[in-house]
A and B are shown apart, each in its own frame.
Chain A
Amino acid sequence: MSKLPKKDLLGIKNLSATEILTLLEMAKAEKPKIKNPQLRDDSLKNVSLATLFYENSTRTKLSFLLAGDYLGAITNDLNISTSSVAKGETLIDTGLTLDSMGINIIVIRHSMAGSAQLLAENVSAAVVNGGDGSNEHPTQALLDLFTMWEHKNSFANLKVAILGDIANSRVARSNIFGLTKLGANVTLAGPPTLVSQNMASLGVTVTNNITEAIADADFIMGLRVQLERQKAATFPSLAEYAHFWGLTKEHLQHAKPDAIIMHPGPVNRGVELSTELIDGDRSVIYPQVENGVAIRMAVLKYLALANIGNIGAKKDYVIKFL
C-alpha cells in the first residue's frame, strides 16, 4: 500500500475557500466537453474509477461515470445488490478488494455518516464521498456553488435560503460549509422537527418561517422531502407539508426580483416546489444536473493530479489538459 499522503474528497468541511474556487474554475473549463463530444479527451486514460453505491442514486452515480468516460478513464459500477456486499462483506474488505484490482478512485455513497472517511483510511485508492448519511455530499454542494457562481460570479453577501428537511440532509450540510467559507449568508428553514436550532452553530440563521427565510434571497434551494420522514412522524402528511412548506410563485414576491430556484433532485412535484416553479424560467434544476457532470470531471482531474505517483495518471499528461 502506498505510504504517500493521499488526497481524498470527503467533505467540503475539509476544503479551503481557495480549493473550492479552483475546482469551480476547473469545472468551467471542463463544462463544454459535456455537450460537444469533439472536445472530450483522454486526460485520465490511465485512471480507473469505481462507483460503490450502497444507496440509490440517479444523478450522482451516472454523472461520475460519465465524467470519467468523457475524460478517458476506465469506469466501473459495482452493483451492490449482486456483489459480495450482499453476502455480508464489510466496507473495509470491499474497499481492499477494489484496491487489489487496481482501482484508483472509489466514489462511495453510504447511509452512514463517516463511512467515506472510514474507507479512505483503509484503502490506497483516492476516495470521493458521494454522500454519507446525514454528513456530507461534497460534489452536490460544489455543483450548486458552481451554478451560483455562474450567475453571480461572487459569493460575498449572497443570501441563500435552504428549505425543507435540513436535519437529515447531507446536501444542506455540505452547502452550509461551502457557502459560509465563501462569504455567503445562509438561512435554513423548515418545520422545527426537521431543522434543529443546533445548526445555528454552523454559522447560519435558522428560522421556522418560510417568508422570513426567503426575504431578499438571491437563491432558494428546496430539498427533497423523504417519504420515510412522514413515517417517522416528523410531519403529519405530505399534503400538510406542501401546504406550509411548498414553495409557490406567490412566495417569490418576498425574494429578490432575480432570485433563482434550485433543487438537488429528485423533486416531488407539488410538494417542496410547485410544478409552475420547477418548469419556470427561474428554475436552474436542469443546468444543475449538467453542472454536476462538469464538477465531477473537475474533481476527478483534481484528485488524479493530487495523487500523482499514487495512481496511474501521469502528471504532464493531466496538466496538458488542465
Chain B
Amino acid sequence: MSVAVRVIPCLDVDAGRVVKGVNFENLRDAGDPVELASRYDGEGADEVTFLDVSASSGERETMVDVVRRTADQIFVPLTVGGGVRSADDVDRLLRAGADKVGVNTAAIARPELIAEIAGRFGSQVLVLSVDARRVTGDVTTPSGFEVTTHGGRRGTGIDAVEWAEKSAALGAGEILLNSMDADGTNAGFDLEMLAAVRDRVGVPLIASGGAGTPEHFVEAARAGADAVLAASVFHFGVLTVGQVKDAMRAAGLDVR
C-alpha cells in the first residue's frame, strides 16, 4: 500500500459564497463555503480547495474570514487559491488557517514569486495552478499545450509542460493542472496533457477539469495524477466523494 490518490472537492468562492459556472462563465450561487467544506470533510474528502474568484480586495478580506471559519471546522488540509500575488498574501492565508496556497497568474508574470514563497514558507505550502489548453490556430508550443490566463480566455504562448517543470524547479511543491478545454464539459480529464506533465515533473500532480463520472477519476490517476480535483459534480450532487473512491478502490487504486 502506498500513498492514497487524493480526492479533492474544489469550491469557487465569490465574496464569501460558493459559485461555479460552466467554463467559468455564468456563475451560479450554490451555498455557504464553510458548510459545504464541512460536508465534504464528513463525506471523506482528502483535502478541500477554495478558489477565490472575488474581483475586489475588500471581497478578498471576506475570504480570509471564510478561511478562518472553515479551518476551525474541518480537520483535513485546506488549500486556498485565487488572487495571490505576494508572499504577504500567502502569509495572511496561512495565518487564517490555510495549509496550502495556490498561485497562478502572478507567478506567470513574475516567476521569482515561486522561489520567494517557497523560501519563506517551504515548498509544501505552494500549489502552482496551471490553466492550460491545447494550442489552436497559429500558436505552437513544443508540447502542444499552452498556459492561459483570465479563466482560459487569453493564451500566453508559454508551453504548459515546460512551465510546470520550471515552476517545480523554482520551488512549487505541487502542480494543479487544470484543462481549460475540458473544464465544465464533464467529458473527462485531458489525459494526454496529464501524462505529458507527469512525464516531466517529479512533484505531486493534481488533475482538474472535466470530471463527469467516477471512471474519469480512475483514468486520471492511471495517467499519473496523485490527486483528482472536481467542483460541480460534487456540489450539484451528481457524484459523491464516496462514489469516486469506490470506483478507484474497485480499480485497484489506493484510497483512504
Decide whether A and B are members of one complex.
no
Binding site for A on B (CB under 8 A): none
Binding site for B on A (CB under 8 A): none
